[in-house]
Structure 1
């Protein structure tokens, strides 16, 4: 971590993405709940739940490029002050996806600001941008880059990492697909104490088909 020698932080993300046609419009409902470990000062670490993020992305399909946009809300569910902002937050999310013959190009942008919460905690105003590049290989393997850029609009801090990793898609059954990946990420530009220098983003995603035969 920048300017914090010999300390680390990590997050295990419980994340779900649910397609929906509520109100007659195609949508993607996404939730993210971190189980995080963060350093406490002057020493020690704390582990617990982070803040819950909910998104409702309305999708506008296109022939070559699809777009999405919708509201975002953050609930202050963190079990320790070091693991969350202590603020209710609201904002918006934007999505663009462009499938290619060789893979996928895309981007996910968010903005959120606090509107209520603990009065002794700092206000929150942040933006993120996640460029997404997947390059297909043989036998279900693919190369990927998906590091998220973070911008603290209240204090001017930022972190811009670049990632490069590999993944593989497995067909577990006729209704279950598994996607496993690992992506090391290095922060090339940053401002602010505690930003990551190196990080590893790894995960396993499961896709369940609910279609009836």
Structure 2
């Protein structure tokens, strides 16, 4: 490569990276994917699992109704998050059962930082499942911790949760569950981005675990000053597991609606 061509490419890259339009698009992409962004958010997300480990010719599906509401209660920035699954799971001797899963509530206290922002808080799980196959049948409590580090090229984040049962159906197994979710986003042009957000599950009660990896693509659309749409699809493959009934692979897809707050 000639020196003249090398100089041109370096100059073009520098101009692109510092241009106001690219910088603004980059900030919009990071804000749309940042789990600590203080905007009212409604998520419609779905996990479709075509193959289950140890269960032949069966599939499963979990549609998530998820919301995020920012608050300054007691003068402290917080994010109240809820997740309600509508699930379909195999059940014997019937073929499948569909209904509500257990409702998860989080209250995340936000500590903004220049390079890394933190969020910590309690979580509770309510046994709202309409069938034993769709929930644990236990009241659970625990904690959530997350860290978010925006980068020049995208976003790095991590979400860790722990929950344990403290009441509920005595005939159901106790719960002691930890999850780890690494989040990596790489920003592209025209609102597109690459993503990897698979959740690692560790059942501390039984010793079972599931470790998937994911790679997908998404698109952020800034509809107006108030509304941002974020649509994505991310296939996830289980690379290591010790369980029965977990996904061999699954497809995670969804659309998120993010609303800016009036200040």
Which is richer in strand?
1
Q: TM class, shorter-chain normalised?
A: over 0.9
Q: Which residue of 2 aligns with 1:50?
A: 101
Greater RCO (Cα-Cα under 8 Å, separation 6 or more) = 2
Q: Find the residue that maps to 1:23 and give its secondary structure.
A: helix
1:142 corresponds, among 187, 193, 207, to 193
Tell me how far apart the structure 2 counterparts of residues 7 and 127 of structure 1 sit (CA, whole Å): 26
Q: Which residue of 2 aligns with 1:68?
A: 119
Q: Which residue of 2 aligns with 1:91?
A: 142
RMSD: 0.8
Q: Give the alignment's TM-score, normalised by structure 1.
A: 0.98
Tell me how far apart the structure 2 counterparts of residues 142 and 22 of structure 1 sit (CA, whole Å): 34
Q: Which residue of 1 aligns with 2:83?
A: 32
Shift of 1:42: 3.5
Cα displacement string for residues 49-86 of structure 1 (whole angstroms, at most 9, x for unaligned residues) = 00000001111111100111100000000011100000
Which is richer in helix?
2
Moved over 2 A (4+): none
- Structure 1: give runs of 5+ residues left out of the alignment: none
Shift of 1:145: 0.2
Is 1:107 aligned to 2:158, yes or no? yes
Count of residues paired in the alignment: 212
Tell me how far apart the structure 1 counterparts of residues 212 and 71 of structure 2 sit (CA, whole Å): 32
Tell me how far apart the structure 2 counterparts of residues 159 and 39 of structure 1 sit (CA, whole Å): 19
Q: Which has the larger radius of gyration?
A: 2
Q: Give the alignment's TM-score, normalised by structure 2.
A: 0.79
Tell me how far apart the structure 1 counterparts of residues 183 and 65 of structure 2 sit (CA, whole Å): 20
Cα displacement string for residues 113-172 of structure 1 (whole angstroms, at most 9, x for unaligned residues) = 000001100000000000000100000000000000000000000000000000000112
Shift of 1:112: 0.2
